[in-house]
Chains A and B, each alone.
Chain A
Amino acid sequence: MSAAAPALKTPPAPAVMTGARLLVSSLERMGVEVVFGYPGGAIMPIYDALTGSSLKHILVRHEQAAAFAADAYARLSGRVGVCMATSGPGATNLITGIANAMMDSAPMVCITGNVPQGVMGTDAFQEIDILGVTLPIVKHSILVRDAAEIPAAIEQAFHIAASGRPGPVLVDLPKDVQFAETVAPFGFNIPNETIEADADAIAEAERFIRAAERPLIYIGGGVKIGRATEALRAFAETTGIPAVATLNALGTVPTDAPGFLGMLGMHGTRAANEAVQASDLLIVMGARFDDRATGKLAEFAPHARVVHFDADASEIGKLRETHVAVGGEIRPAIEALTTRMAAAPLTIDPWVIRCASAAARHAARYDAPGEGVYAPALLKQLSEMAGDRFVAACDVGQHQMWAAQHCRFARPEAHITSGGLGAMGFGLPAGLGAQMADPDAIVVTIAGDGGFMMNVQELATLRRYGVPLKIVLLDNSSLGLVRQWQELFFAENYSEIDLSDNPDFVKVAEAFGVEAFRIDRRDQVEAGLARLLAAKGACLAHVVIDPKENVWPLVPPGKSNAEMMEGA
């Protein structure tokens, strides 16, 4: 499975050009339209070559934002996101974004300048061994030592980033390589290998499913990544098997689809977690048994056998014994399974009814008392008002969990979140990247007051390029998720979570030239959301919420998913 292989443009006739110019031509040839980056000494030849190219370079205000934006661009468009930075601090500032793309399998190519090869290893000014530093957090990395190798290196980088289980690829270019003049051939083509699903394994999967009384589909991010959303929906509809989703898979089945029980795990729904615990067969589709999804692994789905579909063979059996493994591309594998399942219906009505009644019994309520803004209700309403073009770009914290629990997602691309890494500061640059990927989408950054400040400088980027991103800033004047854990698990010892001296966020946004207004009370929410969504340009709604509000339900860390806590 792979993100779309970019259409290769006709190779230009070989001509003498610098490595920097060759790099830019190579990116153009890969079909790259947008690059997020920040210049500096060791990448100056490339920035020199950028002028006059067809690439649209978005100058962010911090390299971390370039990586986050490229990641979100990739997640929404399905194409490889590209970011670039200079050596040393520029490169190290990319690191959190590279790790984020690695953890959530986003296809990204990161281009870094480096000091000339002659001084590499001498602690030269702004020299960092970025290839070495990033080894554990990249899918692959390439140090290009000869300008003539640039076209091949770029093609290889894009291929690796997008194929199989996608991920970030770093291409490091010493400055002398950027300056070097060369005649380089284009047309280095990598064969598109696809791994066929094993027909015997699919037949075996069918046998397990037909033998099960309480089968459950456990959907992971690999379904969306493998462009298998429609295939998965057809499988769920054909079989009628109930489904749960991980954080990164929300929207793969529409939130309100029959049989969908919601997110599983730490902040999942009670119906989803109960179904997992009762299930006798988990049909795992592109998921990796992350601890936030499983809770205490030894007690996760204790009665279930496991059928696991995954493009990454190393995920099979990594954390949980697998009875049937289906490797290779996930979309044809699911389609083949659906064809087999269509031959005869399952007889699982009691189980389906049991799951549906649990979902109805535990449905979220939005009738919290009081005049204050109830964030879960606001987020649900936001997604309903924005409709099918809605894309949420979430930061990390309580608001992220509320968005996952309460927003309506019509497609998996509608929910962009830092799942595996949980990187605060993701929301604003992710919104920028997503809006650049789809100017017609209604992209809304949902952030808390903590994470928003980690990349607040990107308001300037919105202003500069006229990016019409909407921002819902849920301000509880604290680091809410940490505060919640201190309340519940650290005897209410509130340590370093108070942010009550936050700046005036409306003034901050206005100082950057971004329209902003404040929502303090529940009766202002509907009009406020309407104003936000109607704004022509970027707009920020500063929403003041109760600092004591918690995310419920909750599985305490290290506990079984059977032990969900509810709020008062």
Chain B
Amino acid sequence: MSMSDTIHIQIDRADGSLQRLIGLVERRGFHIDGMSMAPDSEVEGAMRRIALTVRGRDAARSIDTLGRQIDRLIGVARIQAQTFQSEAA
């Protein structure tokens, strides 16, 4: 059984911000299985919304720790996370 989580994130358009987010997720030991991005319709200006579906490379990877590491980034805000369990290997 593998566990995947979808994290909803608000992110600014500063140079490197997307790379910073994606790099963090992969570096901290998660696969990115799905991703979508769109301008944030609720905010004027330079914000985007991203939904990332992620899966830990091994059982030791904690989505809670990843979430707090995302929270630490500047110009990035975590909106919410959902956890899905699937029977797929």
Contact = CB atoms under 8 A, between A and B. Distances in A.
Say whether chain B's binding surface is mostly helix, strand, loop, or mixed: helix
B44 interface: no
Interface stretch (A140-148, A378-386, A522-530): A140-148
Contacts of A143: 14-16
Nearest to B26: A136
Interface string A128-142: 000110011001111
Contact of B16 (A135, A312, A314): A135
A365 interface: no
B23 A135 contact: yes
A119 interface: no
Interface stretch (B30-38, B51-59, B68-76): B68-76
Given A136-B23, A140-B74, A160-B74, A131 B68 contact: no
- Central interface residue in A135, A143, A317, by most chain B CB within 10 Å: A135
Contacts of A313: 68, 71-72
Given A314-B65, A314-B71, A131 B23 contact: no
Given A131-B16, A317-B62, A136 B71 contact: no
Given A160-B74, A314-B65, A314-B69, A141 B16 contact: yes
Contacts of A142: 14-15
Interface in B9-24: 14-16, 19-20, 23-24
Contacts, number: 37
A469 to B, nearest CB: 36
A386 B89 CA distance: 62
Interface in A274-316: 312-314, 316
Interface band, chain A: 10 to 19
A22 B11 CA distance: 29
Could you say which interface size class chain B belongs to?
A: 10 to 19
B29 to A, nearest CB: 11
Contacts of A140: 73-74
A314 B24 CA distance: 13
Nearest to B64: A317
A143 B19 CA distance: 14
A314 B68 contact: yes
A361 interface: no
A313 B15 CA distance: 26
Given A135-B20, A142-B14, A317 B65 contact: yes
Nearest to A316: B68
B62 A135 contact: no
Given A135-B23, A142-B14, A318 B74 contact: no
A112 B24 CA distance: 23
A553 B15 CA distance: 48
Contacts of A314: 65, 68-69, 71-72
A312 B72 CA distance: 8
Given A132-B19, A316-B68, A317-B64, 20 more contacts: A131-B15, A131-B16, A135-B20, A135-B23, A136-B24, A140-B73, A142-B14, A142-B15, A143-B14, A145-B15, A160-B74, A312-B72, A313-B68, A313-B71, A313-B72, A314-B65, A314-B72, A317-B62, A318-B62, A318-B65
Interface of A: 131-132, 135-136, 139-143, 145, 160, 312-314, 316-318
